[in-house]
Amino acid sequence: MSIVQQLIDFTRGNPLLVLAALPVVLVVAKVVHYLADSSDLRSYPGPFLAKFTDAWIFWTVSSNRWSHSVEDAHIKYGPIVRIAPNHISIADPKALATVYGHSTGFTKANWYNAFSEFAAKNIFNTRASALLNPSLTEHARKRRMEAHMFAPQSIRAVEPISHSHVNELLRQWDGLISRVAKAQQGGPNGGHIGATTWNVQDGRVWIDCMPWLNFWSFDTIGDLAFGLPFGMLKSGRDTAKVAKSAEEGFKAIDAMSKGGDALVVEEEEIPYIEYLSARAERNACLAWLPPVWARVVLTLPAFSGYALTGRKLAALSIMAVARRLANPNPREDMLQKLLEARDEEGKPLSPQEMSSEAFLLIIAGSDTIANTTCGTTYYLARDKRVQAKLQAELDGALASVDSEVVPYDAVKDLPYLDAVIHEGQRLHSTVGAGLPREVPTGGATILGHHFREGITLSVPIYRLHRDESIWGPDAAEFRPERWIEASPERKKLMMDAFAPFSVGPRACIGRSLAIMQLHIIVATLFHRYDFTLQSDEPLRVRDSLARRPLEYSGSSPTAKLPKRPREDLEAWIPPPIWGRRNGVAAVKVERDEVFWFDDGSVILEAGKVAFRVHSGVLSYHSEGLRELIDDGPRPLKMFKTKPEGSPSSIPYPDPMKLKLSDPPDELRYLLRIILFCKASVQMPFSTVAALVRLAEIYRVQALLDEGLKRIKSCFTKSLQVYDKVEKKKGSTLMSFVDTDAIAAVAIARLTNTPSILPLALYMCCQLDPDVIMNGVARANSVVDQLSPADRLSCLRARAILCNDTHVVAYKTVASAREGANDACIRAINKAAQELWSYEDGGLAHHHALQNWDAIIDRVAGTCCHKCVALLKSGAAKERRAVWDKLPKMFGVPYTLKA
């Protein structure tokens, strides 16, 4: 009998003993794994249980204390903490760019798999790796298809829709205020509107703001994303109609997408916000469990009905897509743009993808804005000084605005409002936990610590936003002035640690919409109403994934809403001025002759040259410049007419000034492309490289793609193309010189484009050793250099290529000599002597890919056609063998073509 059979028989005969021994076996396995330390993480401190199991983080998330528990761990153990066996949390701003930034190779962790309601992934839970080519990943495809939904002109187009729902919120709250007078005349002192409550006390009406802000946010995004609101504001209830069966919804989509008749689908009402919150919390818990354990947990009472709830939530977006397919609506909303979106091959999103992306829109676009607005309202209601200061700025800026809802253009540049919103996002980031990322192949070094590939890293936003070394000793206080008073150095430090929308290529794609919504709602509410708290208790939140203020409790922000008299709006107080220089002498700069427009709204200073341009054009083309402009210092507000009681003279403001570290000539060419769309048919490599560097830094995706296409046209993956461009030192798109290979390697590393590397590094090997070691200076004196690893790789490859060059020559000549007559042998020997002579390059320059055709053609007249063909085919075969091994020679995970 085999040992295996004996174990099976023992298990069957002693089930209770095996069951009792199972926990011991699991504990021993965890301890052995910890002691083995295959990931080199044992030296990092953290909660004791987190060293062995994911149970610690599962417990903190299920207890709704994720961000707080991780912050407590960092306060106790330091900036680098082990919060799970394979998970390190790094509370340092320097880690943000590495873990979440562009072209670092980090990918989303398995944790995101728990957030899949559909077979098709959406832009949030897509985890495709970007190691081979960023432009080909599924995430990049989705982001490009959806980016136009959040372009500035698209956001402005939907502003009227947003206004209509703010108006409905004002109508409800104004109606509540009227209850005060009725109560004083003997009417009721309290009551209900739908599921919300109100009561009149001390001449004021008291409500819980959180549900109302949720209703407003969900109605708004429902209208934008699905083409119709939920009706929550009008009913005062958390309710939405969904298909009883998601499967029936997909059948309806399939029928209507094929031109069939619309199917009648039975619907039901569900408490959508309640379901959505519960689903998100359960997802965040289950995400930390292995799949087997997750299935076990789903059988527990607390998680019963989990799958059914998910299907009901998904059914809402499924039916929204079905309705739009049945009744095409030309209205400019986000659902219409999803339907119109096409990828690079002209293909639309599939019905599953559209439903999945629409579902994500309702989560990311409603819950997050409502939470941030509620948190900001709480802090303003608690601090009357800050509230009064904000209202004074709003009163001055909106004195001539007659609309009930504040237009975005009227408030988007108000400095104190900006500071209030920034401070609200800092203290109440909707996502405070660090979203997990996996270390890429080769590992990563952060803050001097090397982490192996496959390890999960995260940067806790909640902790960064409260770090006293960044925000000062009053980091826990709501003080908007910190954003105004900060020196440029301090402001940069703050912005480096400020990540309410995350950072990098997977940051919130709807950032522009969120910023517009926050400006409109905060400005409208505080321009119209006074707020106070019924209790001074701290704001309590449920903190699993999103940090949600608790609803329907005395600790939620409760507002008194006496409508503010319009005559109060005549008061004018000049807003504070951003960007004080603190006595630092300004560097004298010269205006650029071409890019200086007198009505430009932003000045870009690069070195000693200043460019004055229009911010709207820059924001449209460049995501990076848009963020700098959105977050940059604001000038003094300019008033068209002098308000009554204002100073006798109001200074004209300077446009916003942004200091950039880029060379002026490189920035000049970037502006030429962005503003004038003028690009030469053929450009020198130096110009293309400059554009690619700036396009990567400022995220000008179209320009980045165009620049990389030009570089790839010369630093190619095809041997045949290489022969052509090497002869002409260029292609139809780009010219180059040999030393450009060093900068090409840097571009490939910067943009994570490995197809450029094999040929670029091969060409570096042809350069003098001193150039390989010291680099090449650009026209602006910046030196392009190879990394130490690439320098060492090139020096080693030179020796290999020198040998390969002689092997190619020997094998080619030897094979052609076999069976050749005397005359042909003499001709072949002559060609060999020309090859082996070290004059004019010869074989001395490690040029194993040297094209023999010209030399062979010179002896063709004294050699038969068969031997000439043998020489050429032999040389081509041996050169191709060298070409094929270039990626391995330089350690590049890429395959070249012959």
pLDDT over 50 at 650, yes or no: no
Q: Give the chain's count of helices (H) and strands (E).
A: 39, 23
Which pLDDT band holds residue 5 (cuts at 50, 70, 90)? low
Question: Over the stretch 192-232, which tens digit does the pLDDT of each residue have?
Answer: 888 888 888 877 888 888 899 999 999 998 888 777 788 89
Question: Over the stretch 822-867, which tens digit does the pLDDT of each residue have?
Answer: 778 777 777 777 666 544 444 455 677 777 777 777 766 677 777 7
Question: Over the stretch 495-532, which tens digit does the pLDDT of each residue have?
Answer: 999 999 888 777 787 888 899 999 999 999 999 998 88
> Inter-axis angle of helices 511-528 and 623-631, to 10 degrees?
20
Enumerate residues 6+ apart whose C-beta is below 8 A from 551: 208, 210, 211, 214
Which pLDDT band holds residue 557 (cuts at 50, 70, 90)? very low
| Cβ atoms of residues 55 and 49 within 8 Å | yes
pLDDT over 70 at 634, yes or no: no
Enumerate residues 6+ apart whose C-beta is below 8 A from 895: 887
Question: Over the stretch 686-712, which tens digit does the pLDDT of each residue have?
Answer: 889 988 888 888 888 888 888 999 999
pLDDT over 90 at 477, yes or no: yes
pLDDT over 60 at 129, yes or no: no
> Inter-axis angle of helices 511-528 and 209-226, to 10 degrees?
140
Torsion sign over Cα 317, 338, 365, 411:
negative
Report the residue count for the chain.
Answer: 898
| Cβ atoms of residues 884 and 894 within 8 Å | no
d(CA 161, CA 221): 9
Give Cα 624 distance to the centre of its chain: 11
Cα dihedral 350, 355, 356, 361, rounded to 10, equals: 130
pLDDT over 60 at 818, yes or no: yes
d(CA 671, CA 621): 11
Question: Over the stretch 65-113, which tens digit does the pLDDT of each residue have?
Answer: 889 999 999 999 999 999 999 999 999 999 998 998 877 888 888 777 7
82 closest CA partner among 884, 647, 91, 165 = 91
Q: Which DSSP category does 755 fall into?
A: G
pLDDT of residue 585: 33
pLDDT of residue 519: 96
Mean pLDDT of the chain: 77
pLDDT of residue 839: 42
- Mean pLDDT along residues 112-121: 68
Question: Over the stretch 241-265, which tens digit does the pLDDT of each residue have?
Answer: 777 665 666 566 556 555 555 555 6
d(CA 480, CA 388): 13
Q: Where are the alpha helices (DSSP H) in 288-439?
A: 291-297, 306-326, 334-340, 351-362, 368-382, 384-397, 408-411, 415-427
Is residue 2 classed as helix, strand or coil in its secondary structure? coil
pLDDT of residue 361: 78
**One-character DSSP codes across 156-200:** HHTHHHHHHHHHHHHHHHHHHHHHHHHHHTT--SEEEETTEEEEE
407: number of CA atoms within 13 Å, CB side? 11
Which pLDDT band holds residue 39 (cuts at 50, 70, 90)? low
Phi, psi of 588 (to 5 degrees): -70, 125
Is residue 240 classed as helix, strand or coil in its secondary structure? strand
| Cβ atoms of residues 703 and 691 within 8 Å | yes
Enumerate residues 6+ apart whose C-beta is below 8 A from 33: 52, 85
Which pLDDT band holds residue 386 (cuts at 50, 70, 90)? very high
Which pLDDT band holds residue 303 (cuts at 50, 70, 90)? low
Tokens of 832: 């060999």
Q: Residue 826's beta-bridge partner residues?
A: none
Enumerate residues 6+ apart whose C-beta is below 8 A from 683: 710, 733, 734, 735
d(CA 231, CA 558): 23
Phi, psi of 768 (to 5 degrees): -65, 145
Is residue 469 classed as helix, strand or coil in its secondary structure? helix
- Mean pLDDT along residues 632-658: 47
638 closest CA partner among 682, 591, 574, 564 = 574
pLDDT of residue 742: 94
pLDDT of residue 331: 64
pTM equals 0.59
pLDDT over 70 at 539, yes or no: yes
Is 508 annotated as a binding-site member? yes
- A 10 A CB-CB count for 257 gives 16
Question: Over the stretch 565-603, which tens digit does the pLDDT of each residue have?
Answer: 333 322 222 222 222 223 333 346 788 888 888 778 888
Which one has a higher pLDDT value, 558 or 487?
A: 487
| Cβ atoms of residues 527 and 417 within 8 Å | no
- Mean pLDDT along residues 766-771: 86
270 closest CA partner among 231, 240, 235 = 240
pLDDT of residue 643: 38
pLDDT of residue 201: 82
- Percent of the chain whose predicted confidence (pLDDT) is above 70: 75
Tokens of 678: 């003028």
**Max mean pLDDT range (49-58, 129-138, 677-686):** 49-58
pLDDT of residue 383: 92
d(CA 18, CA 455): 33
Which one has a higher pLDDT value, 401 or 131?
A: 401
734-752 burial by CB neighbour count: b if 16+ within 10 A, else e?
A: bbbeebbbbbbbbbbbebb
pLDDT of residue 825: 77
Q: Which DSSP category does 444 fall into?
A: E
pLDDT over 80 at 631, yes or no: no
Question: Over the stretch 713-738, which tens digit does the pLDDT of each residue have?
Answer: 999 988 889 888 888 889 988 999 99
pLDDT over 50 at 560, yes or no: no
Question: Over the stretch 140-196, which tens digit does the pLDDT of each residue have?
Answer: 666 666 666 777 777 888 888 899 999 999 999 988 888 877 887 788 888 888 888
pLDDT over 60 at 777, yes or no: yes
Task: Kindly list the distances between the CA atom of residue 512 and the CA atoms of 154, 171, 631, 835, in Å, as whole numbers in the listed order.
Answer: 10, 27, 12, 63
- Percent of the chain whose predicted confidence (pLDDT) is above 90: 22
pLDDT over 90 at 481, yes or no: yes
522 closest CA partner among 357, 611, 391, 703 = 391
